[in-house]
Amino acid sequence: MRGGEKETAEIVCEKACGACCTRLANFSVKIGRRLILDNINLHLHCGEMVALIGLNGAGKTTLLRAIMGEVPHRGELRFIPFKAGQRAPLVGYVPQKLEIDSSSPVTVLDLFCGALSFRPLLLGYGKNCRPQAQKALALVGAEELIQERIGALSGGQLQRVLLALALTPLPDILLLDEPLTGVDKAGIERFYETLANLRRTYDLSILLVSHDLLAVGAVADRMLFLHQGRIECEGTPREVLQNSWVRTVLGFERETVGRLPLPKAKPDLHMARNDEVAG
Amino acid sequence: MRQALLAILLLCPLLALLGCMVISNNMAFYSDAVGHAALAGVAIGVLLGMRDPLLGMLAFAMLLALAVTSMRRYSAVSMDTVIGVTMAFSVALGIVLLSRGGSFAAYSHYLVGDVLTVGQSEIKRLALLTLIVLGLWMMFFNRLLLLSLSRSLASSRGLRVWLLETLFAILVAAVVTAAIPWVGLLVVNSLLVVPAATARNLARNTVGYYSLAVGVSLASGIAGLVLSFYWGTATGATIVLCAASCFALSLAWRRKAGCSYPI
């Protein structure tokens, strides 16, 4: 199904869609005496973008952190590649907007070399460093930012750089925690477009936490509503956002349930855009 | 004089390199506290009857480093307050213990330092310390760099934030303490901070930042040593004045070059 779009990909899930996925079974997280996440059962298929929504304090960030391994969890977390076997998933993570000192002299290249190589940055960039960084930045259309200081980047530029970093090495599952806080509209559209392209090319599983329900609902394949540590509603974005209980919990007045706009049907991202500027 | 020059050539770049990371981490208050708290370390060393209180100073500095990073990890108290209170306590303790019987004057050389007390064995010790500190620091440099950029980014890439923070705090404490007998605890923090601040005004990437800081510190170190010789002034403080002039020049350069971002 997705095989025809592989031309530029280097590492590809060589399979028919649906056979490879990240599986959470009976997944729960307890911190102290509080049960933050309870009995989460989830399959995230390769090439699928899943939006995770819910109120503040529902446990969304904890779920991401538990998948990353930062927080101990009970239950099963397994990645099942197309070829037989099971292993722990390789996780890429794009954090929320970082507070970076705007005077910091660290450049994007410094960041990549520091994160990817063992050779101390002060002794010079490693041989593989620059090509790796260029390749990663090319994935997100940010090649020209390589010598820019991190502190001088705009919100959208920084998020794209962090996305490139999260994709190196190519992960099984990409986690994004409200990655577009503080990014302008053009940056948001550009980011989602990049994500959609990556998803198609590399068959990534993407789990995306966002409060921007309509925007994320327009690009996600599936939506999960997390409430008090449990997945209370699951389905396509239209289904979830049409559910009257979900709308009540999220604070949409009962009277306006009928009048609230729903996400449009997913846009055709193959369409060329006039205003698309390379890089 | 030659020993003094060797000491400066070893000490100034070391302080400048660590100072760059101290500024990136907003730790200048911490390094100041470590310097001042050395007074209590000296007092403890003297009380325990050590001929050379350096060991007492080092031990106390390590304790302080651990206390500060642990409090950061386990409590929600503001770092500013914690460091301020700890420093106040240590300085007062040191003064009280050392001034008993009116003998504080004997220890006042710790305040402004005396580069001419450097002998062969001290140079060897300093060289050894430089090797160990730089070796450890280089080994963990990339991780420390990520940490200094953003704690949450470092943590999201699987780095052990507390261990790295503690390691760096201990390295800073060790170097600051070792430098005190020669440059004095009143100005040792300036030698960390001023060359790095100068470099930050001019650097366009990480390697440039650290190299410029080393350059400024070496230039100020040699100039300061020579000037202090001719003027008969305390060496440490004279070096800091040279470094401060470099900083002023770098500020002027920035204004001329039209840089818009804040320091």
Q: Is the pLDDT of residue B139 over 80?
A: yes
The kind and range of the H/E element at B248 are helix B235-257
Closest partner residue to B157 (CB to CB) among A104, A110, A115 is A115
Question: Number of helices and strands (H, E) in chain B?
Answer: 12, 0
- A185 — alpha (psi -120 to 50), left (phi > 0) or beta? alpha
Q: Give residues 105 to 144 of A whose Cβ lies within 8 Å of B.
A: 105-107, 109-111, 113-115, 117-124
The closest of B146, B148, B263 to B198, measured between CA atoms, is: B263
The Cα–Cα gap between B184 and A22 comes to: 59
**More confidently predicted of B143 and A125:** B143
CB burial of residue B3 (10 Å; 0-12, 13-18, 19+):
middle
Per-residue confidence (pLDDT) for residue B78, from 0 to 100: 85
Per-residue confidence (pLDDT) for residue B114, from 0 to 100: 87
A114 φ, ψ (degrees, to nearest 5): -65, -40
**More confidently predicted of B143 and A126:** B143
The ipTM is 0.87
Distance of CA A147 to the CA centre of its chain: 25
Q: Are A230 and A38 in contact (CB under 8 A)?
A: yes
A34 φ, ψ (degrees, to nearest 5): -90, 130
Q: How many CB atoms lie within 10 A of CB A170?
A: 18
The residue count of chain B comes to 263
The Cα–Cα gap between B82 and B67 comes to: 9
Assign B152 a pLDDT band (cuts: 50, 70, 90).
confident
Amino acid occupying residue A76: E
User: Which whole number is the average pLDDT over B68-85?
Assistant: 86
B219 φ, ψ (degrees, to nearest 5): -60, -50
Contact residues, chain A, for B138 at CB < 8 Å? 120, 122-123
The closest of A22, A36, A125 to A76, measured between CA atoms, is: A22
The closest of A174, A172, A192 to A183, measured between CA atoms, is: A192
Contacts made by residues A177-180, CB under 8 angstroms, sequence distance 24+: A177/A60, A177/A61, A177/A64, A177/A93, A177/A94, A177/A95, A177/A96, A177/A209, A178/A96, A178/A209, A178/A210, A178/A211, A179/A94, A179/A95, A179/A96, A179/A97, A179/A208, A179/A210, A180/A210, A180/A212, A180/A215
User: Does A104 contact B150 at a Cβ distance shorter than 8 Å?
Assistant: no
User: Does A95 contact B152 at a Cβ distance shorter than 8 Å?
Assistant: yes
Residue B84: helix, strand or coil by DSSP?
A: helix
Contact residues, chain A, for B145 at CB < 8 Å? 106, 110, 114, 121
Structure tokens at A193: 């477009």
Closest partner residue to B208 (CB to CB) among A101, A105, A114 is A105
Q: Among the listed ranges A19-33, B127-141, B146-160, which one has the minimum average pLDDT value?
A: A19-33
Per-residue confidence (pLDDT) for residue A5, from 0 to 100: 36
Closest partner residue to B152 (CB to CB) among A69, A98, A114 is A98
A24 φ, ψ (degrees, to nearest 5): -110, 125
CA atoms within 13 A of residue B195's CA, in its CB half-sphere: 33
Q: Give residues 45 to 74 of A whose Cβ lies within 8 Å of B.
A: 68-70
The Cα–Cα gap between B43 and B84 comes to: 20
User: Which whole number is the average pLDDT over B19-28?
Assistant: 94
Q: Does A150 touch chain B (CB under 8 A)?
A: yes
The Cα–Cα gap between B58 and B53 comes to: 9
How would you write the pLDDT of chain A (279 residues) with one tens digit per residue?
333 333 333 333 333 345 678 888 888 888 888 888 888 888 888 888 999 998 888 889 889 988 888 888 888 888 887 666 777 778 889 988 788 888 899 999 999 999 988 889 988 888 888 999 999 999 898 999 999 999 999 888 999 999 999 998 888 889 999 888 878 888 888 888 888 888 888 888 899 998 888 888 888 999 999 988 888 888 888 888 888 888 888 887 554 444 555 665 555 554 444 444 443
CB burial of residue A190 (10 Å; 0-12, 13-18, 19+):
buried
Q: Does B160 touch chain A (CB under 8 A)?
A: no
The Cα–Cα gap between A259 and B240 comes to: 69
Q: Is the pLDDT of residue B211 over 80?
A: yes
CB burial of residue A271 (10 Å; 0-12, 13-18, 19+):
exposed
Q: Does B205 touch chain A (CB under 8 A)?
A: yes
Residue A265: helix, strand or coil by DSSP?
A: coil
Per-residue confidence (pLDDT) for residue B89, from 0 to 100: 92
**How close A106 comes to chain B (CA, Å)?**
5
User: Does A68 contact B156 at a Cβ distance shorter than 8 Å?
Assistant: yes
Residues facing residue A35 across a β-bridge = A30
**How close A102 comes to chain B (CA, Å)?**
7
User: Does B262 contact A69 at a Cβ distance shorter than 8 Å?
Assistant: no
User: Does A114 contact B146 at a Cβ distance shorter than 8 Å?
Assistant: yes
Contact residues, chain A, for B204 at CB < 8 Å? 105, 107, 149
Residues facing residue A25 across a β-bridge = A76
Which residue, among A71, A103, A113, would best test binding to B if mutated, counting the most B CBs under 10 Å from its CB? A103
What is the interface size between A and B, counted as CB pairs within 8 Å? 83
Contacts made by residues B127-130, CB under 8 angstroms, sequence distance 24+: B127/B10, B129/B174, B129/B175, B129/B178, B130/B10, B130/B14
pLDDT digits (tens, 9 = 90+) for B236-246: 999 999 999 99
CA atoms within 13 A of residue B233's CA, in its CB half-sphere: 14
Per-residue confidence (pLDDT) for residue B51, from 0 to 100: 79
The kind and range of the H/E element at A209 are strand A205-209
**How close A44 comes to chain B (CA, Å)?**
21
Structure tokens at B243: 């470094």
Closest residue in B to A114 (Cα) is B142
